[in-house]
Amino acid sequence: MSWSVVQDMAGDAIVAVAFFCFIVVFLRNMIGLAQLLIAAWVFATRIEPSESARELWQRYADLALPITMIAPAYNEELSIVESVKALLALEYPEHEVIVVNDGSKDDTVGRLIAAFDMYPCERTQVAQLQQTQIRQTYASRRFPNLLVVDKENGRKADAANAGLGFARTPLVCVIDADSIIEPDGLLRAAEPFMHDNGRLVAVGGAIRVANGCTVKGGSLQKIDVAKALVPRFQVVEYLRAFLTARVANAQTGTLMLISGAFGLFRRSTLVEIGGYRHDTVGEDLELVVHLHRHLREQKRDYRFAFIPDIVCWTEAPAALKGLDNQRARWQQGSLETLVRHRGMMFNPRYGRIGLLAMPHILLEDVLGPPAELLGYLVLPAAALLGLLDPMMAVAFFFVSIVFGTGLSVGTLALEEQQLRRTPSARSLIRIGWAALLENFGYRQINLWYRIQGVRRFLKKDGTWAAVPRLGFGAD
Amino acid sequence: MKIFSSGLYETVVWGSAAMAGVVVVIFLLLVLRRYLAERQVDANKRIDAAITRSYLRRVAGHRPETDDAGWTDERRLAAVSQIQALLRGGERDRLMQIAELDGLLAATVRRSRRWRRSERVSAIRLLQRFGSELCIARLRELMARDRSPRVRVEAAFALAAAHALPPPRETMRILRMTDRAPSRLDSALLRASVPDYREQFVLLLEDDLPPVWRAQLIDALGWSGDVAVMPALEKAAGDEDPEVRGAALRASAKLGHPGGREWIMAALRDPDANVRVQAVKASEALGLRDAVPQIRDLREDSQLWVRLRAEQALEALDPGYDTTARPPLARNPAPDLSNCA
């Protein structure tokens, strides 16, 4: 084989890679545009929630399905008491709070016992879904709707399963112990169940970044936007994910993820599938995919709903250190779920889940990150070497950066027009800047973290590192 | 190498730029709107306070404010909505009459005809607050004829709040209730309707309805507050469908009348676990101490949810009950009855 033949083959390969990267990025952005348009339609035609939670309360109180809030907690001694107080104070006719201490090394349980006057009790576990040992259950003398389950460490999925096993209500709401639920968030999240005639399995709600907000006593006092750039970039990402992608996916019946920070589920269906899987780092995605698979295989008529109103606030990593682990973990979790449920991919038996939603995850989480990152390198290089029309490299830049910025800013416009939860015009401008700036560095770094997630997946790395938190109020 | 023509790439470039440009302009306009609104906050507060003051003066028979610059219909409506929640009786009626004279009702009625169903639902909520004959008539029209089922249900709720729902047979027909499975909102509607149409509910039970809807009607009877429905509940307690039997027990517990003691206690031995759970709950709600021995036996029931409910009921009914000396509960994972537990 002559040198020129090798050169030609290498040139063809580079062109093929460049073409592939271009198509993948183009497709992702076209899907993003479709999602933005669908979300805009949903917002434009939706019936807004009643003016206040009070109206809902008065109207539906006696028919509201009882809910168990399951809050797995690990080393949360500094904030657990305030968090539980906030959960107990949520506006809802009948809700129980189950805090599952997942083998904390600090005094999480001790703080709870002291603060809520708790005593050891014997509570029957309706279904045993966890893999670790329950040490003790505690009831409160002051709050009959509070139960603390102390168990050996087994990660969040195992703790959530333990709580699920103790729940007796028709609905369960799995949250992070440090999530801040809006006072009427539970009422709003449960509202779709009021209109439901038995098909609804789960409801997800929008989650926002709480960095920069003022939090006191486990509840949100003042909404603001963080000064640091990394949390601000995440504000844009969360808005895109929750106000555009999930709203559109729910509308098209392809909702594949209900965030682990807040999700409302029918207890019986979760128990049917055995709860969360313990052997994945992306248990929230796996759970919803598993539910789709289970319900479709049983040919049951079902649906998932998503409410675009904010129900929950969460603290995002304040710096790149911490974000790296989180994003790599999300990527690894997606790949684990895709591989585990690969039989659903392009399988007409699973309807739009198999034909649309799973391929979309493949495009977004498997092909997307390497294609975009590679595209930034290969397309300009190929154009400089004369292998490609330079216009193609320019078009790639416009599709990924300019179009991507348009999608982000479009989501901000949607938020401002419909929800108006950004506190001021000044905050809007600050988030708008972040939507522009994120394309120059942050986005590429994120892609790199996701490639790290692919590497961890290939190495079958099962370690789980907690995301470092500064605590609410720190910026 | 050219895979596609440069023209295509140019289209992509210009298309991306145009899309991003349009979106950024829209966003900047929204930011500008927000900025101007923030600058107007104090002035708007003054206007809203003046509108509120003016309506309160007019309700009390005083001269209204003279300067009405910036008093839009929307602002007036918001003020009226806020004030009416604070007023009662004659004052509230006068406020609504004044609002009607100001043309606010006409604006709301116009809004109830808009294309967007969210607009129509907002109008329904306002019409419900006005509550005049004209509003009720418009709400009935929306309930009967609107193209959106959701809007029809919202109108029905507004009518229920004003005690102006049509008879249950008409409500069920208009909302096409029996063509679908009942939702919790349907239950709420029927419950809201039953105090006005108790006899008609009993008559409806003679129709050939699906058991699931018969159960809804029976459940609603519990909210009638009238013990004259007890014979209907007793008859339902002997129905062949367990859902109907369970609804009869729920209704009798809600009524709080011990007249159903015999059939409630008999239901503790019902072959259906859901019915046994409801019987335990009814016994607890009515304080039926005679049922304690039977409920004790239910701690050995084959179904977990029955055993759990029995434990809870005993804690309430039997002061001497020792919770630590109870038999083991988690024997077998039972069918899920958490909806009734």
Q: How far apart are CA A333 and CA A18, in angstroms?
A: 28
The minimal CB distance from A424 to the residues B1, B38, B187 is found for B38
> How high is the pLDDT of residue A55?
55
Alpha-carbon gap: A470 to the closest alpha carbon of chain B (Å)? 31
Higher-scoring residue by pLDDT: A300, A48: A300
Whether chain A has a CB inside 8 Å of the CB on B338: the answer is yes
Interface test with A, best of B34, B147, B175, B324 (most A CBs within 10 A): B34
> How high is the pLDDT of residue B129?
78
Whether chain B has a CB inside 8 Å of the CB on A412: the answer is yes
Alpha-carbon gap: A115 to the closest alpha carbon of chain B (Å)? 25
Delimit the CATH 3.90.550.10 region(s) of chain A: 51-320
Banded pLDDT at A111 (limits 50, 70, 90): very high
Banded pLDDT at B163 (limits 50, 70, 90): confident
Q: Which of residues 150-189 of B touch A (CB under 8 A)?
A: 150, 154, 157, 180-185, 187-188
Whether chain B has a CB inside 8 Å of the CB on A28: the answer is no
> How high is the pLDDT of residue A250?
94
Mean predicted confidence (pLDDT) in A211-234: 87
Asked if residue A208 lies in contact with residue A234, where contact means CB atoms within 8 angstroms, the answer is: no
Pick the range with the lowest mean pLDDT from A111-120, A137-146, A208-217, B35-44: A208-217
Alpha-carbon gap: B337 to the closest alpha carbon of chain A (Å)? 9
What chain B residue is nearest to A168 in terms of C-alpha separation? B338
Which residues in chain A touch residue B338, judged by CB atoms under 8 angstroms apart?
126, 168-170, 267-268
Q: Do A398 and B16 touch (CB under 8 A)?
A: yes
Q: How many CB pairs under 8 A join A and B?
A: 149
Which residues in chain B touch residue A125, judged by CB atoms under 8 angstroms apart?
330
> How high is the pLDDT of residue B332?
39
Distance linking the first and last C-alpha atoms of chain B: 70
Residue A131 tokens, joined: 């893999």
Whether chain A has a CB inside 8 Å of the CB on B62: the answer is no
> How high is the pLDDT of residue A53?
41
Residue B147 identity = R
Banded pLDDT at B3 (limits 50, 70, 90): low
Nearest to B150, CA basis, from B119, B127, B178, B129: B119
Q: Which of residues 387-406 of A touch B (CB under 8 A)?
A: 387-389, 391-392, 394-395, 398-399, 402-403, 405-406
pLDDT in tens, A345-397: 999 999 999 999 999 999 998 889 999 999 999 988 888 888 888 888 899 99
Q: How far apart are CA A450 and CA A369, in angstroms?
A: 7
With 60 as the cut, is the pLDDT of residue B339 above it?
A: no
What sign results for the dihedral spanned by CA atoms B220, B223, B226, B230? positive
With 50 as the cut, is the pLDDT of residue A311 above it?
A: yes
ipTM field: 0.89
Alpha-carbon gap: B149 to the closest alpha carbon of chain A (Å)? 11
Domains in chain B, CATH or no CATH each: 257-341 (1.25.10)
Banded pLDDT at A238 (limits 50, 70, 90): very high
A146-151, strands of its sheet edge to edge: A118-121, A134-140, A146-151, A95-102, A67-73, A171-175, A262-266, A200-209, A303-314, A180-181
With 80 as the cut, is the pLDDT of residue A463 above it?
A: no
Q: What crossing angle do the helices spanning A425-437 and B6-39 adopt, rounded to 10°?
A: 160
With 70 as the cut, is the pLDDT of residue A1 above it?
A: no
CATH of domain A51-320: 3.90.550.10
> How high is the pLDDT of residue B329?
44
